[in-house]
Structure 1
Amino acid sequence: MSVAPGARAWDSDDDDDADVREDEYAAADDALAPEETCARIERLAVAHARALLLPPSPLSPPSRERATRDAAAVEFAIRDVRAAVYAPGAGADAGAYRLPANAATTRVRLHDARRPAAYARLWKLLATVHHHLSERRAITQRALYYLLCARHPKLFPPGRARLVAAALRDAVTLLNCTRAAMGVTSASRGQVAGRVAILTPEDGVWRDFSDASAHFVVPGDVRAVERARLRSDARFVLIVEKDAAFDKLCRERIHARVPCVLVTAKGFPDLATRAFLKKFASEFPRVPMLALVDWNPSGLLILRTYRAGSSGGALEASRYALDVKWLGVRRADLERVDARARQPLTELDKAKIKNMLAAETGASQASELRAMLESGMKAEIESLYPEADGGVFTLSEFVVSKYLRGDYF
């Protein structure tokens, strides 16, 4: 697998995300001391300088990297011999600085002469992370973006948060550690309500969130999420795409009808919300997790991200992959809904569906995407309870009836 700075396999709207195959994550470190992460950054800088400056080994065959050495288009190949980092064309007996283990075939291009700005952004980000870790300070990804914008506006222009996210994903891969180990946290959007009590080390008090107005705000620090303690008698967890639908289900007190926990990330799932769900799943493995998302490309992309993470190319998201069942909205659910509640697909929607179909391996999801494309229509969760018509049924009735019938996959 080749990882170029900023490359993404399929797009999402979340700048806090990154994922990888399970075998790649197995070697990543998320419990590094700040000193060790700083040391890895320093070793990486030394290894990169050596690769640029050392002459090629006379025993090595010619390579395209060597031919373009003057342009400094240098790659580090992370091999399966405890993942030493070699200068291009160097053999296993050549001098090299070692980096932590990674997948056997991972190749990370640090300097592509065709994309010099991405190279510069990566090293500016690493320098900033190193400075904060040296002072044992953490920083949110959003604050890191604003800091880099202020200090290096030509490399990180305003309104381009994805550039910071791309550089951060490459740093995660190169250092073989998580963002938390680099002292970078995310601003969580997650909220939790229903039949769950939570104790966080920060306040040391058990808090019950079964009251309709009481919501737990998921901390942005993944480590804080993982240290929390949970109690629950829920029969299922409902992951709700939208904040409005989440609030409606809370007002309807769905958890009083059937014991359940409601979770929303207010759109595309952030890492901290997925970490909370993973912790819940590990402590209550028999409680199914169900998802309620819009019947549109974005809704299915959100479902896919909860299940497998986004293809951002870093080492974190597969750790928080979840066994999430799709409760709705699905094509069959719309048979009882007024056709006027649907909306036409845009050209961008159609392009997204075609891209997703090319990557989709699940037959059921692919069938829904094809039906969406053939109909030329999409529908939101709100179409299930049109307020103008008084609503055919409450949203909680829809969810409970589908749960009791086992109508999810």
Structure 2
Amino acid sequence: MEDACKSALNFFSDQQLCYADILTPPEVIARIQVAVLNFLRILTSPDPAISDLPLVARSSSNSRVSRGLVTRTSWIFLTRSFCTRSLLRPNAAKAFIRVWKVMAMCSEILGQGKRVTQRELFYKLLCDSPEYFSSQSQVNRTIQDVVALLRCSRYSLGIMASSRGLVAGRLLLQPNQEVVDCAACGFSGHAITGDLNSIDKLMMKTDARYIIVVEKHAIYQRLVEDHVFNQIPSILITAKGYPDIATRLLLHRLSHAFPDLPILALVDWNPAGLAILCTFKFGSIGMGLEAYRYACNVKWLGMRADDIDLIPAEALVPLKPKDIQIAKSLMSSDMLQESYREELTLMVESGQRAEIEALYCHGYDYLGKFMAKKIVRANYI
């Protein structure tokens, strides 16, 4: 523990680190203890004060996109700009206290050798400190604050991911002695575990030629039921919308285990679909400290502007105010490559969106043919 404390002291004096370390429980506990000691030292000094908590700022102005020089993968990262949580500012006082309460809970969890989900953590905090925690979003934001303060991954804090993800197709997984054949798991496929450590240790085998990320659960189910992974030798994966951490980590693992397999995304032609693709591809600003662990070189298969001619005009839907808001956010980011920016501009200028389901006008078995044609022609960006 003494060595861990020395390491933690060095950590708190070094403000160059702007990514989340993967740490052992003793190392995390040591960082928490050093944070407490620093706070008490300032509080009990000859000129006592209440120190602010310096957090790596999770904002667009503090984010950059690495343009992978060694690999083809780029990801969002955060630079050396800090924000604070202060007990002396009325609008930040509760957030300041929440950080300490979550750190105390994480120290307790790690000391017991346990792991909890964010939902479990919320209910425990709701019972213990209802005046500070009244919603899941408050807990989620505070966990991000603790990651930004201690600069260690949330899994290192003893917090498991709540996974919504599914995987199917030509993939064998070996989490322990048992081998899971993802092609023989029914039309739902195999549920992705929220245990990130288990995902890190998975043994995997495949004879697939592509990895296909599907935005929507219903579309994923259609593709699995039609055994599209046999027509297009592939692994199918979905997070049922915006990607959770566990699904992103599995995709990242697949990309490293099978670097020659193109990763292709099938999303709606709307700003939200592009935002989902970009989250898989680059990560998110909110998790910029951990993005390097989850980013993948994802290509955009469809839907895209050149697919709109395949569907009737009456199947197009007007953009909603939220779509415009997402589009403005994406446009203001420097992560969009020019071809993606052009697609987004076309969406906004047309004022319309197209959902994948619109292709069913050609029949329920058309989707596989649509994808196969685009893949054979390498029609992805």
Q: Please give the range of the TM-score, normalised by the shorter of the 2 chains.
A: 0.7 to 0.9
CA positional deviation for 1:223: 0.8
SS at match of 2:222: helix
Q: What is the identity, as a one-letter code, of the residue corresponding to 2:21?
A: D
Tell me if 1:399 matches 2:371: yes
Q: How far off its partner does 1:393 sit? A: 5.7
Map Cα deviations across residues 351-393 of structure 1 (whole Å, 9 max, x no partner). 221222111431111111111111111121111214xxx6286
Kindly provide the amino acid, as one letter, of the partner of residue 112 in structure 2: E
Indicate how the Cα distance of structure 1 residues 216 and 287 shifts in structure 2: closer, same or farther if over 3 A, else same: same
Segments of 5+ residues of structure 1 without an aligned counterpart are 1-21, 57-68, 79-101
Q: CA deviation at 1:136?
A: 1.3
CA 1:222–1:24 in 2, change beyond 3 Å: closer, same or farther?
same
User: Does 2:223 correspond to 1:227?
Assistant: no
Whole-angstrom CA distance in 1 between matches of 2:373 and 2:222 = 17
CA deviations on 1:113-139 (whole Å, 9 max, x unpaired) are 131111111111111111111211111
Residue aligning to 2:253: 279
Quote how far apart the aligned CAs of 1:106 are: 4.2
Give the letter for the 2:377 counterpart: R
Does the alignment pair 1:353 with 2:327? yes
Q: Distance in 2 between matches of 1:171 and 1:236?
A: 37
Work out whether 1:205 is the aligned partner of 2:178.
yes
> Which string of whole-angstrom CA distances, capped at 9 and with x for unpartnered residues, describes residues 215-249 of structure 1?
22111011110111000011100000111000000
1:7 matched residue in structure 2: none
Deviation sequence 1:32-76 (CA, Å, 0-9, x none): 1x23222211111111232344357xxxxxxxxxxxx97x46354
Partner of 1:340: 314
User: Which residue, 123, 131, 142 being the options, matches 2:108?
Assistant: 131
Q: Indicate which of 167, 170, 181 corresponds to 1:195.
A: 170
C-alpha contact 2:85 2:92 (8 A) present in aligned 1:
no
Residue of structure 2 in register with 1:74 after alignment = 52
1:20-39 Cα distance to aligned partner (Å, 9 max, x none): xx9733xx43141x232222
- CA distance in structure 2 between the aligned counterparts of 1:300 and 1:23, rounded to whole angstroms: 30
Report how many residues are paired: 342
Match of 1:291 among 261, 265, 276: 265
TM-score by length of 2: 0.84
Q: Tell me the secondary structure at the aligned position of residue 208 of structure 2.
A: coil
Partner of 2:9: none
List aligned pairs for 1:8-407, cutoff 5 A: 24-25=18-19, 28-32=20-24, 34-54=25-45, 72=50, 74=52, 76=54, 105-111=80-86, 113=89, 114-157=91-134, 160-201=135-176, 204-211=177-184, 213=186, 215-313=189-287, 315-360=289-334, 361-386=336-361, 391=363, 394-407=366-379
Aligned residue for 2:289, secondary structure, equals coil
* Contact 2:219 2:357 (8 Å CA) reproduced: yes
CA apart distance, 1:168: 0.5
**Change beyond 3 A, Cα 1:103–1:207:** closer
Distance 1:392 1:247 in 2: 12
User: Does structure 2 conserve the Cα–Cα contact (< 8 Å) formed by 1:172 and 1:314?
Assistant: no
Task: Write the letter of the residue equivalent to 1:193.
Answer: A
Q: CA 1:162–1:277 in structure 2 vs 1: closer, same or farther (change >3 Å)?
A: same
Distance 1:123 1:270, change over 3 A: same
Amino acid at match of 2:234: C
Retained in 2: the 8 A contact 1:212–1:250?
no
**2:42 aligned partner, one-letter code:** A
**C-alpha distance in structure 1 between counterparts of 2:332 and 2:218, whole Å:** 32
How has the CA–CA distance of structure 1 residues 168 and 246 changed in structure 2, closer, same or farther, with 3 Å as cutoff?
same
Judge conservation of contact 1:218–1:273 (CA < 8 Å) in 2: yes
Q: Distance in 1 between matches of 2:83 and 2:39?
A: 11
Partner of 1:64: none
1: distance between equivalents of 2:178 and 2:104?
Answer: 39
Cα distance between partner residues in 1 of 2:221 and 2:324: 30
TM, length-normalised to structure 1: 0.78
- Does the 8 A contact of 2:39 with 2:51 survive in 1? no
* Alpha-carbon distance, 1:319 to partner: 1.6
What residue is the counterpart of 1:15 in the other structure? none
1:208 counterpart letter in structure 2:
D
Q: For structure 2, list consecutive stretches of 5 or more residues without a partner in the other structure.
A: 1-15, 57-76
Question: 2 CA distance for matches of 1:176 and 1:74?
Answer: 16
Secondary structure at 2:193 match in 1: coil
Matched residues, percent identical?
35
Structure having greater relative contact order (Cα 8 Å, sep ≥ 6): 1
CA distance in 2, matches of 1:314, 1:408: 27
AA partner of residue 74 (structure 1): D
